[in-house]
A and B are shown apart, each in its own frame.
Chain A
Amino acid sequence: DARVTQTPRDKVTEMGQEVTMRCQPILGHNTVFWYRQTMMQGLELLAYFRNRAPLDDSGMPKDRFSAEMPDATLATLKIQPSEPRDSAVYFCASGLSGEQFFGPGTRLTVL
């Protein structure tokens, strides 16, 4: 049963620290998405990759966030430095032909 995996599942950190979230997409999927979900803003698209190339990161605060796909089995989302307003659940999804499969999410708390 293929699924998207994300690590860590929970992360508590202090303001100013670097946070790295990892995602392993489903093998064979050519698109990877990073989303942030909060009560106030709902589900926001942060970044989108197709065939490992970044196609859209307009939803991401560029000064502190960065997203990469070093290879087809790994996508990373990094926040440096982290701030309390970054507290949210971060979902990775991989897809094919428009349909997306979501990972379990990383719950980030920045104190």
Chain B
Amino acid sequence: AQSVSQHNHHVILSEAASLELGCNYSYGGTVNLFWYVQYPGQHLQLLLKYFSGDPLVKGIKGFEAEFIKSKFSFNLRKPSVQWSDTAEYFCAVSNSGGYQKVTFGIGTKLQVIP
């Protein structure tokens, strides 16, 4: 069974600080990887995704993530956060064939202080 681990449950940063949120997954096969964001009171929206190709993926709003296969990791980064990035961030993994069930991590709450 696949699983996703997000290391930081609550992160507090000042505006302009750099962000890195950790995500590790466990699955024996080929995977698709995602980061979703949930702003307060809203539904989940896709930030970025990795299916294949360049392991450095760029998403919306200046976010990027790097897939490191040897480490089973897909960490999310942003060089300079803004107050509007305050939200909850979910890492997710799906197997790339057949069933395509998506498993979500528990989420990381990011609070950006102006």
Task: State the A residues within 8 Å of B (CB).
Answer: 31, 33, 42-43, 45, 48, 50, 55-56, 91, 93, 95, 97-105
Give B36 Cβ to nearest chain A Cβ, in Å: 8
B43 & A103 in contact (Cβ 8 Å cutoff):
yes
Chain B contributes a number of interface residues (CB within 8 A of A) equal to 21
B43-A105 in contact (CB<8A): yes
Q: Give the residue of A56, A95, A98 whose beta carbon is less than 8 angstroms from that of B96.
A: A98
Given known A-B contacts A97-B100, A98-B96, A43 and B107 have beta carbons under 8 A apart = yes
Contact A98–B102 (Cβ < 8 Å): yes
- In the assembled complex, the Cα of A97 lies from the Cα of B49 at a distance in Å of 11
B111 to chain A, nearest CB (A): 16
- Shortest B35–chain A CB gap in Å is 12
Q: A55-B99, A98-B32, A98-B96 are in contact. List 8 more A-B contacts (CB 8 A).
A: A56-B101, A91-B43, A95-B102, A97-B32, A98-B94, A99-B49, A103-B43, A105-B43
Q: Are A101 and B46 in contact (CB under 8 A)?
A: yes
A100 to B49, CA, bound (A): 11
